[in-house]
Amino acid sequence: MKKICLYIIAMIVIIIFIPFVLVRNFVVIQEEIKENAEHAEKAITINVYLTDQKKIVKMNIEDYLVGVVAAEMPASFQPEALKAQAIAARTYALGRAAKLYGSSESVHSGADVCTNPAHCQAWISKETAMRRWGLFSSFKYWNKILKAVNDTEGQIIEYNGVIINPLFHSNSGGHTENVEDVWAGTAEPYLRGVESPGEDTFSEYKSQVAMEQEEMVEKLKAFNPEFELKEKDILSTVEIKKYSSGDRIMEMKIGNITIKGTDFRKIFQLKSANFKLSELSNGKVAITTLGYGHGVGMSQCGADYMAKEGYTCSDILKYYYKGVTIKKIN
């Protein structure tokens, strides 16, 4: 009798319960597929010019951002710093897709953005990123960045209801810049110079190059053939004409020419325009530089330092971009 009862119970499970579970799971899966399909239809896509491959690829904006954050910010940085970078990068891309910002140069070949960091945002593929990080860190770092992008999905930065131009750089050297002090143009109320504490704890904060005075003269003549040096010591002819609020050199006189600090930086491939010249014991000229990058907008090292101090991604963005709001787009 006991065996008969067990048999009946087993048959009930097989005939009724298992089909019920299977049908229920099938319905759930179908609903998930439908939701994913609807999400894919609503997803924003942009055209990205892959500079190294010389081709345009249409990408989901969120998928594109994972590659941007992986290329632009060290994956070892704090999660809130990575989130801030994701929001800034999304804002940057959509501002250019909407034709609010960008240059007249045809380097995009008709695309919204390119992957050349000298012109737009950097971007790398998942495979490239994982090779850089190595076997033991690749999956951890990729998932960390993926989470930062997913946690901020759709979030952008606006000023007075208009998407901003969220410029960013590696390390400001302790103080960011007013945008008009770096590039000629209209001052933006959200791109104001601010103190950026904690940056001196990063390797990007300070660097130095040394070169022979003859080499400096050659490079300056290549930049401006009219350059002349009457004095034997090039340093004795250097005169700083104008500094920015962030202590970067805006204008300087050297020899018989006046030159912008940004041009001097390009000539000698310096990490920033916040530099000082001095003579070494061997007669060479040392150029000591603070910071890494143009210094406008969000400092990535500063963002990581703030995140370590307990600030959120919203706190970080509102500190470096004055008067802005964080909004989630539909």
Based on the number of CB atoms within 10 Å of its own CB, is 207 exposed (0-12), middle (13-18) or buried (19 or more)?
middle
Structure confidence at residue 1 (pLDDT): 58
C-alpha 172/C-alpha 245 separation (Å) is: 12
Tokens standing for 74?
Answer: 């060290």
The amino acid present at 2, given as its one-letter code, is: K
Structure confidence at residue 206 (pLDDT): 97
Q: Residues 160-169, buried b or exposed e (16+ Cβ, 10 A)?
A: eeebbbbbbb
Distances in Å between the Cα of 8 and the Cα atoms of 2, 18, 139, 194, 266 are 10, 15, 50, 77, 85
The answer to whether 299 and 320 have CB atoms below 8 angstroms apart is: yes
Give the strands of the sheet with 257-260, arranged side by side.
239-243, 249-254, 257-260
pLDDT in tens, the chain (330 residues): 555 555 555 555 455 544 544 445 444 445 544 444 444 446 799 999 999 999 999 999 999 999 999 999 999 999 999 999 999 999 999 999 998 987 656 667 789 999 999 889 999 999 999 999 998 899 999 999 999 999 999 999 999 999 999 999 999 999 999 999 998 878 999 999 999 999 999 999 999 999 999 999 999 999 999 999 887 889 999 999 999 989 999 999 999 999 999 999 999 999 999 999 999 988 899 999 999 999 999 999 999 999 999 999 999 999 999 999 999 987
Structure confidence at residue 16 (pLDDT): 55
Q: Residues 25-61, buried b or exposed e (16+ Cβ, 10 A)?
A: eeeeeeeeeeeeeeeeeeebebbbbbbeeeebeebeb
Structure confidence at residue 233 (pLDDT): 87
C-alpha 142/C-alpha 148 separation (Å) is: 10
Dihedral of alpha carbons 15, 17, 20, 22, sign: negative
